[in-house]
A = this chain, B = another copy of it.
Amino acid sequence: MARTRLYRKGKLEAEGFPIADVSDHLGEPDAVVWFDLCTPTRADLDAISEELGLHPLAIEDALHASQRPKLDVYDSHMFLNVYATHFDGDTGRLESVEASAFVTERALVTVRTSESFSIDQVQRRWDSGGALAEHGVAFLLHGLLDYVVDTHFEVVEAMDDQIEKLEEGLFHETLPGPDEQRRTFELRKSLVNLRRVVAPMREVVNTLFRRNEIIRDSTLAPYFQDVYDHAVRAAEWTDSLRDLVGNIREAHMTMANNKMNLIMKRVTSWAAIIAVPTMITGFYGQNVPYPGSGQPWGFWTSTGLWVVAAVVLYTQFKKRDWL
């Protein structure tokens, strides 16, 4: 079933009709149309470009990965580029899926680069929008942006959880193994990449607001404001997470250093406990007539000496907490 919708006066009149019918609906004065293209070819886009009068640069941008959310305002339409995000807790990797949208007065065309950009979630938002649907394209646009910013938020929350888990494991006896290091590494990398798709969203929503008095003056305004607030929070939270990961990294380093110190102390102590008896028995191994050489009492002195030395060293080191 094609992903299409037709709204009239805030009512959903048709859904799932073929994309071919879109141009008929566009001819009707009060119809608002949405349809979705998933990984379209250049030919697909050229066709709708003609229908809707889209700018060739917007078509160009929809075809190529851009790696930065943006909103371009053309004379007769707008071009939106956004990224839905997903965080894989096991690998610590961020996945971001690009989607574009052409926004004309009475049509919204979403162009997804992959099915993993969940257009179902967007439709669910539209279905629960109630009377707001009468705002037409602006209403549809809000649903789209709301979904995108919510995915950013989910990622931020998932990362926060991951960081909490890393923190819990932090002060255990064992040092972080290569696995934890890899996860910390991936997390930091994901934060850098997340920032790249989250930070510009503020500007995107703000431009929409500033350039579009229809949105600014309508009852939709608080809803766009709400999306903006979410975008700001997601960006700020991302920055906080950076600090938290940095904090963990430094705690790791301090603990590794401490571990090293501890090992050094233990090694030294045991080396001494072994070296002193070796020195003493070395003395009694000389081929010179030392006191007690060849005598049973020589054995007792030797043995007594190193037992005492070992015990004294051991207790001393224990006392100073070196063992």
Secondary structure dominating the interface of A: helix
In the complex, which residue of chain B has the Cβ closest to the Cβ of A270?
Answer: B272
* Copies of the polypeptide in the assembly: 5
Docked pose: A294 CA to B278 CA in angstroms: 20
Complex-state Cα separation, A288 to B250, whole angstroms: 56
B276 touches A275 (CB 8 A): no
Question: Mask for A226-249, Cβ within 8 A of B = 1, else 0?
Answer: 100100110011001001100101
A189 interface neighbour in B247, B252, B254, B258, Cβ under 8 Å = B247
CB atoms of A247 and B185 under 8 A apart: yes
A73 to chain B, nearest CB (A): 9
Q: A254 and B181: CB pair below 8 A?
A: yes
* Contact between chains at B282 and A251 (CB < 8 Å): no
Q: Is the CB of A263 closer than 8 A to any CB of chain B?
A: yes
Which of A8-16, A96-104, A296-304 contacts the other chain? Answer: A296-304
Q: Tell me the complex Cα distance, A164–B287, Å.
A: 62
Is residue A17 within 8 Å, beta carbon to beta carbon, of the partner chain? no
**Do A264 and B267 touch across chains, with their CB atoms under 8 A apart?**
yes
Contacts of A178 in B (CB 8 A): 171, 258
Q: In the complex, what distance in Å separates the CA atom of A274 from the CA atom of B167?
A: 39
Q: How far is the CB of A164 from chain B (nearest CB, A)?
A: 10
B193, B225, B263: the one contacting A268 at CB < 8 Å is B263
In the assembled complex, A188 has its CB within 8 A of some CB on chain B: yes
How long is the Cα–Cα vector from A294 to B252 in the complex, in angstroms? 55
Q: Which residues of B contact A284 (CB under 8 A)?
A: 286-288
Contact status A229-B72, CB under 8 Å: yes
> Could you list 14 examples of A-B contacts with CB < 8 Å?
A55-B222, A61-B226, A72-B222, A170-B185, A181-B258, A195-B240, A256-B261, A260-B261, A263-B268, A264-B267, A274-B276, A278-B282, A281-B283, A288-B302
A interface, CB within 8 angstroms of B:
55, 57, 61, 66-68, 70, 72, 74, 167, 170-171, 175, 178, 181-182, 185, 188-189, 192-193, 195-196, 222-223, 225-226, 229, 232-233, 236-237, 240, 243-244, 247, 249-261, 263-268, 270-272, 274-279, 281-290, 292-296, 298-299, 302-303
Shortest beta-carbon contacts, A-B, top 3: A284-B286, A288-B298, A281-B282
